[in-house]
Amino acid sequence: MIKTTIDIGTNTMLMLIAEYDEITTAVKTLLDIQRVPRLGKGVDSNRNILFESTNRAIAILNEYKAISKEYNSESLTATATSFIRDSHNRAEFTKSIKDATGIDIEILSGADEAKWTYIGGIYDKLTGSSERITTIDIGGGSTEITTDFRSARTLSELTQQEITCKSMNIGSVRINEKFLNSHPPAFENIIQAEEFINEHLQQIDFDISGTKLIGVAGTVTTLGAIMLGLDKFEADKVDNLVISLSEIESILNRLVPLSLEEIYVMGDYMTGRADIVIPGILILKCFMKKFGFDEITVSTKGLRYGIFLREML
């Protein structure tokens, strides 16, 4: 059975077309692509989705819908996250999308976003051991921290267990617009950004000590590509890569003095991300230092895979 899921985020729009094997519960990825329209630009300051953002979303969704039909996908599910949740004109936005594309957008709560990102990010990394897992999803508008208190050994256990999560309004686009919109960023602005991030991290009031940390979304996958010295993003090389906190700090120190142009030419994965990679890394660094994580494992999957599994199971 072939299904399509679309993740409409603050910075990116990702589409997964996959096939599910009911016997083996394997997910076969047929197509996994992204566009970087930055639909959430300005939402943190004016709380409205811009007219031009709506038009970009319509164009991409119509493109995705046509591609989905080419793959004979049986259904298409589109979900949206932080920037739409926070916008005053979200009803107008979703109506415009429906009228122009025929696609209904499901606006996920922060808790649902965290849950299905968690499931999508780790479903293929279950080892059958008793190891607990925590995921961090650094998006453009928000960051979700999710963990369990009873480790899952199978996909069925994973989708049925209760998880604990916290969704915080710290994302790479938000931090960039609020503190780091000059490049290279000034040292005092970096300090202000870290203080702001750490204030929000105090919201995490559940125990994640001793868990394995897995990171999803663009900040962590970009770190993986930088660490490997890739010119083009290669998911098979980045997925499951382990990055230490010291390596993250080294990459951050390397990026901070660079101009946007110097960051942009590092690889094709910097398209639409060159100005927000530093704030994303700051969020990750502050989180790992605050909660004592020495390393993080990269997952190239996430919400779109979680929603796919939700639709199949």
User: What is the set of domains in the chain, with CATH numbers?
Assistant: 2-110 (3.30.420.40), 125-298 (3.30.420.150)
Contacts of 258 (CB under 8 A, 6+ apart): 183, 184
pLDDT of residue 72: 96
pLDDT of residue 106: 95
**Residue 42 pLDDT level (bands cut at 50, 70, 90):** low
Q: What is the CA radius of gyration of the chain?
A: 18
Whole-prediction pTM: 0.86
**Region class of 292: left (phi > 0), else alpha (psi between -120 and 50), else beta:** left
**Residue 127 pLDDT level (bands cut at 50, 70, 90):** low
The average pLDDT across 142-153 equals 78
Under a CB-based contact definition with an 8 Å cutoff, are residues 56 and 12 in contact? no
- Answer yes or no: is pLDDT of 129 > 80: no
Question: In terms of DSSP bridges, do strands 295-298 and 212-216 run parallel, antiparallel, or are they unpaired?
Answer: parallel
- Answer yes or no: is pLDDT of 44 > 70: no
Strand partners, 143: 138, 168
Average pLDDT, the chain: 89
Under a CB-based contact definition with an 8 Å cutoff, are residues 131 and 151 in contact? yes
**Residue 50 pLDDT level (bands cut at 50, 70, 90):** confident
The average pLDDT across 217-239 equals 93
pLDDT of residue 154: 66
Under a CB-based contact definition with an 8 Å cutoff, are residues 51 and 23 in contact? no
Looking at residue 118, its amino acid is: Y
Cis status of the peptide bond prior to 184, with omega within 30 of 0? yes
Give tens-digit pLDDT for 59-91. Answer: 999 999 999 999 999 999 999 987 788 788 889
> Does residue 47 sit in helix, strand or coil?
coil
Under a CB-based contact definition with an 8 Å cutoff, are residues 68 and 33 in contact? no
Closest of 33, 164, 16, 139 to residue 84, by C-alpha: 139
> Does residue 16 sit in helix, strand or coil?
strand
User: CA 297 from chain center: how many Å?
Assistant: 14
**Residue 22 pLDDT level (bands cut at 50, 70, 90):** confident
pLDDT of residue 141: 80
CB burial readout 170-191, b (16+ within 10 A) else e: bbbbbbbbbbbeebbbeeeebe
The average pLDDT across 139-164 equals 77
- Answer yes or no: is pLDDT of 8 > 80: yes
Higher pLDDT, 272 or 196: 196
